[in-house]
Amino acid sequence: MKSILQGILTLIGLFFALYGLYFLIVFSGYFQKKKAFPPAAPKTRFAVLIAARNEEIVIGDLVDSLRQQAYPCELYDIFVIPNHCHDRTEEIARMHGAKIISCMVPVKSKGDVLRYAFQTLRNDPYDAYCIFDADNIADKHFLAAMNRAFCSGALVAQGYRESKNPGSSWISGGYSLYFRLMNECYNRPRAARHLPIFLGGTGFAISRECLRQIPWATSSMVEDCEYSLACILHDIKIEWVHDAVTYDEQPIRFGQSYHQRRRWSSGMLGLCRREAASLLKGQPAQKQRPQRLDAFLFLSAPAIQAASLLSPALLLILYLLDPRPEVLLYGFLLPNALSIVGTTLFAWILSKAGPKFNGAIWKGALFFWLFITTWSCIHLIGLFKRTGEWKEIRHTQHADRRLSPAEPAKRSKARRKRALSEPLI
């Protein structure tokens, strides 16, 4: 029995070594020069879409930040799509200058709201559609950055997702570091290596031409990943626009975070099971094979992260079969202690990459290992019991005076200091 367990542990270790090596090779693209879209005169006409449910506290801040864009106001319109609201979301959105699209269809997810909005505006003369969540704040240069991308030929583009409240709790700090991880260690190197990136739920834009080729017809709880996969299968590249910055409010309490991450995990696992054959079978063009493999590895990440819990469980069983102190010390305690220290150090380094965080990130960095561990546990639960239930997360964070959308993501030290002293509105 012990030899069988040791053999399984060796195979698991080999698998994760190869898995890690692949992502290390891809990550090396981080050191390549970031793609810069050439300057372009304002040309793209945008429809800015905001799906909102009971968002009276935060909707005004987002609309105000969008009305302050460094982009001609005649080239974009702001639409709020209230659905199942029981508060003053629609009234406040109108007061701040947004137009309203009344959602007249049953809604099970954000994807249903967006599909209705796209259909409503299909005959209007917009070149592209920007998608935001109601709790966001948009950088002043967001639309100008997206315009440069679309003038350069982009069909779909994802912006840089930052956090409004990184210092509120270890949960919000964990989210902030996770999205920094996606920006700097996933989107940036993949964009450099021409590998697919996935839309991140908010702060992205889709051209009218792309919607003509691939109509928005998502049905899962992860509509962003589902539409990203459709783009990959149709050989449409999703561009990463690092200077189109969105500030997103993160959950503060673990209960909120659990329901949200479980929904994401269930949606990803279901999408992976449904689309794995499309990605791995068939005869795609030679240049499409690496893209499809990489997309499959992205979608299967929840299952792989859940499997990472298998090693410590098997090591504990091995200790019960062979209760020697060195087995417990060198096989379980020491590796896990080193993992916690390494993850904490990595989180600290990650916090220094990219723009300066708006607020103290130490709680998120100190407990990032716990944030990742709980996410692996949530993935494990999702393997056996998935959820299709959407639970509302009430947003309460007003725009922080220190959080200024007046500068692009890449700032000089002088600009960063100036940004901290400028009010948002």
DSSP letters, 320-354, are: HHS--HHHHIIIIIHHHHHHHHHHHHHHHHHHHSS
133 in a structural domain: yes
Residue 168 DSSP SS3: coil
Report the alpha-carbon distance of residue 281 to residue 270 in Å, rounded. Answer: 18
CATH at residue 180:
3.90.550.10
Q: What is the pLDDT of residue 411?
A: 41
Element containing residue 47 per DSSP (H, E): strand 46-52
Per the CB < 8 A criterion, the answer to whether 193 and 29 are in contact is yes
393 in a structural domain: yes
Per the CB < 8 A criterion, the answer to whether 146 and 44 are in contact is yes
pLDDT in tens, the chain (425 residues): 778 877 888 888 888 888 889 889 889 888 888 888 999 999 999 999 999 999 999 999 999 999 999 999 999 999 999 988 899 999 999 999 999 999 888 888 899 999 999 999 999 999 999 999 999 999 999 999 999 999 999 999 999 999 999 999 999 999 999 999 999 999 999 988 888 899 998 999 999 999 999 999 998 889 999 999 999 989 899 999 999 999 999 999 999 999 999 999 999 999 998 888 888 876 565 567 778 888 888 899 999 999 888 888 887 787 778 787 877 777 778 888 999 999 999 999 999 988 888 778 999 999 999 999 999 999 999 888 877 666 666 666 665 544 544 333 344 444 334 433 333 32
37 in a structural domain: no
229 in a structural domain: yes
36 in a structural domain: no
Sorted by sequence, the CB contacts under 8 Å of residue 203 that are 6+ apart come out as 131, 132, 136, 138, 142, 158, 159, 160, 161, 244, 245, 246, 248
201 in a structural domain: yes
Q: Residue 11 is part of which domain span?
A: 1-31+42-425
246 in a structural domain: yes
Domain count, the chain: 1
